[in-house]
């Protein structure tokens, strides 16, 4: 179990805090908005009402004791910068800050953020890939070149196994899982025979995955 501090109870901060708690982490949520904080109290380990722009407030939280501190301020980039800087000054082990633009990400890293996340940018990329390629159902970007995608198995794979198709050599793509209704099951058997319309999870270079799907590049 890891200890997480989430600063900011906006929409992103709320969803992050709840999911972190669901994953059995100890989560403390802090915001100046009393109503927003109290609404999340049943879902997280602890809540605190306070202005994290105040160094004394952050110091009282004991930021050194958290494995990760998330700065999730949505509407005030100046506040994000100051809180990120104060967290590092107070000895926070690892700080993840939210940004909306590339230039913001660069600035946050320069003042000490260990990682910067851009949810809107990432979702936009994910949506673009998903709807550009027919038969793509989900997409996770690992780097500008590599991704994991949930796709429909190509029609000509029906009735053949991973071994017979020699997917890795022919397409430079790894089949790492199969979706079974609501669940994703790891694919550990090269003798798995594909079915028509089956959803598979593949990993590799984005261009190789799209090419395998018949998407012209």
- How much of the chain, in percent, has pLDDT values that exceed 70? 98
Q: Is the pLDDT of residue 28 over 80?
A: yes
Domain boundaries, the chain: 3-117, 122-212
- For 171-185, the pLDDT digits (tens) are 999 999 988 777 888
For strands 26-31 and 95-98, give the pairing: unpaired
Cα–Cα distance for residue pair 203/142, rounded to 1 Å:
9
- For the entire predicted model, the pTM comes to 0.71
Cα–Cα distance for residue pair 43/21, rounded to 1 Å:
7
Cα–Cα distance for residue pair 204/120, rounded to 1 Å:
23
Say which CATH topology domain 122-212 has.
Alpha-Beta Plaits (3.30.70)
pLDDT-derived band at 27 (thresholds 50, 70, 90) equals: very high
SS3 assignment, position 5: strand
Q: Is the pLDDT of residue 215 over 70?
A: no
- For 60-112, the pLDDT digits (tens) are 999 999 999 999 987 788 999 999 999 999 999 999 999 887 788 889 999 99
Cα–Cα distance for residue pair 69/193, rounded to 1 Å:
45
Torsion of CA 76, 78, 84, 90, to 10 degrees: -120
Q: Please report, in angstroms and rounded to a whole number, the separation of the first and last CA atoms in the chain.
A: 44
Say which CATH topology domain 3-117 has.
Rossmann fold (3.40.50)
Per-residue confidence (pLDDT) for residue 217, from 0 to 100: 43
Per-residue confidence (pLDDT) for residue 210, from 0 to 100: 84
- For 194-210, the pLDDT digits (tens) are 988 889 999 999 889 88
Cα–Cα distance for residue pair 94/98, rounded to 1 Å:
14
Q: How many CB atoms lie within 10 A of CB 50?
A: 16
Lowest-confidence region among 14-18, 106-110, 127-131:
127-131
Helix, strand and coil percent figures for the chain, each rounded to 5: 40, 30, 35
How far CA 101 is from CA of 116, 119, 120, in Å, comes to 10, 10, 9
């Amino acid at each position: 179990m890891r200890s997480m501090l989430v600063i900011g109870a906006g929409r992103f901060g709320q969803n992050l805090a709840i999911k972190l708690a669901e994953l059995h982490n100890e989560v403390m949520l802090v915001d100046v908005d009393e109503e927003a904080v109290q609404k999340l109290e049943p879902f997280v380990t602890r809540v605190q009402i306070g202005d994290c722009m105040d160094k004394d407030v952050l110091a009282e939280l004991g930021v050194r004791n958290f494995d990760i501190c998330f700065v999730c301020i949505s509407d005030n980039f100046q506040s994000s910068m100051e809180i990120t800087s104060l967290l590092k000054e107070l000895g926070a082990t690892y700080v993840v800050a939210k940004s909306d633009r590339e230039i913001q990400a660069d600035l946050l890293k320069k003042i000490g953020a260990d990682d910067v996340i851009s949810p809107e940018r990432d979702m936009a990329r994910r949506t673009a890939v998903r709807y550009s390629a027919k038969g793509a159902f989900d997409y996770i970007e690992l780097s500008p070149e590599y991704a994991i995608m949930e796709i429909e198995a190509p029609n000509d794979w029906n009735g053949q196994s991973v071994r017979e198709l020699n997917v890795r050599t022919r397409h430079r793509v790894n089949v790492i899982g199969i979706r079974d209704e609501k669940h994703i099951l790891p694919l550990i058997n090269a003798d798995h025979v594909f079915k028509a319309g089956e959803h598979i999870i593949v990993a590799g270079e984005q261009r190789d995955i799209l090419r395998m799907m018949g998407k012209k590049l």
